[in-house]
Amino acid sequence: MNVTVLGTGAAHSTGDRYQTGILLESTDRTLLVDAGNGVFQRLAQIAHPAETIDTVLLTHLHLDHVADISSIVKARVLSENPELTVIGPPGTRATITQLLAVDDLRERADLNITEIEPGTHTIAGFDVRAVKADHSAYCLAYRFGDQFTFSGDTEASPDVARLADGCEVLLHDCAYRDSHPSPSNHPTPTSLGRTLRKEDVEIETVYLTHLYPDAADATEELRSTVASYVDASVQVPSDTDVLVSSH
């Protein structure tokens, strides 16, 4: 399995970090996890244009995770391949239906929308385990086999930490610096590091994502703080970095 992070930013622009999106590839299978603003362009940048995406898995329904769904749908419609499967937490059907009101995309697309709960699932051929994250919106964190776990948006959560135990790579929200005056719905590096240490999880590499501008300006501070709590390698990726490679 190959995992490419397409967007490492958040709801406020940093100029070089687009909103959340992750591409999973395995032989003849692909899966896009989240589709925030800019993901449409990042897909083209890595020579995997949006019209080739046939399944999207959503962690939650905030705009910075779903904004480019409509662009992906339109690209498929214009390519005369209007089918798209969208899977996500409760509320996905209503949200996607609203997003596609523009350009008559609801009528032009052939959508298969499925809402899922925590548990085990097979999605686009990938074995997926989901747990509920700790966020203002209903959010699911996902584990894909033993290779990759994505936290979605969440405060430092024991459940999400345990989901990643024994996994090669954890991509985790780290939106705020420790100096943020009122962190909520997302972790600081200290709260994340303490939770990973408390749960005694074994992970080879932790990648930090969903960076607001102040956090994006202090990536070494984030990295070194989390690293002080865990034995894993800790990194802050850039957009289009490959996090997992089967080659």
What is the domain range of residue 18?
2-244
**pLDDT for res 119:** 98
Q: Which residues contact 167 (CB under 8 A, 6 or more apart)?
A: 143, 146, 147, 148, 149, 203, 204
CATH number of the structural domain spanning residue 30: 3.60.15.10
The strand order across the sheet containing 126-132 reads 119-123, 126-132, 140-144, 148-150, 169-173, 205-209, 233-235
Q: Has residue 182 got a pLDDT over 90?
A: no
Per-residue pLDDT band at 210 (split at 50, 70, 90): very high
Domain count for the chain, please give it. Answer: 1
Q: Has residue 247 got a pLDDT over 60?
A: no
Give me the percent of the chain exceeding a pLDDT of 90.
95
**pLDDT for res 28:** 86
Please state the separation of Cα 68 from the chain's center in Å: 13
Q: Has residue 181 got a pLDDT over 80?
A: no
- Residue-averaged pLDDT of the chain: 96
Per-residue pLDDT band at 185 (split at 50, 70, 90): confident
**pLDDT for res 1:** 95
List, for residues 24-53, the tens digit of each pLDDT value: 999 889 999 999 999 999 999 999 999 999
The model's pTM is 0.97
Please, how many CA atoms are within 13 Å of residue 110, restricted to the half-sphere of its CB? Answer: 9
**pLDDT for res 155:** 95
Section 211-225 average pLDDT: 97
d(CA 102, CA 114): 21
- Please give the C-alpha separations between residue 98 and each of 63, 74, 105, 202, in angstroms, as whole numbers: 12, 14, 10, 41
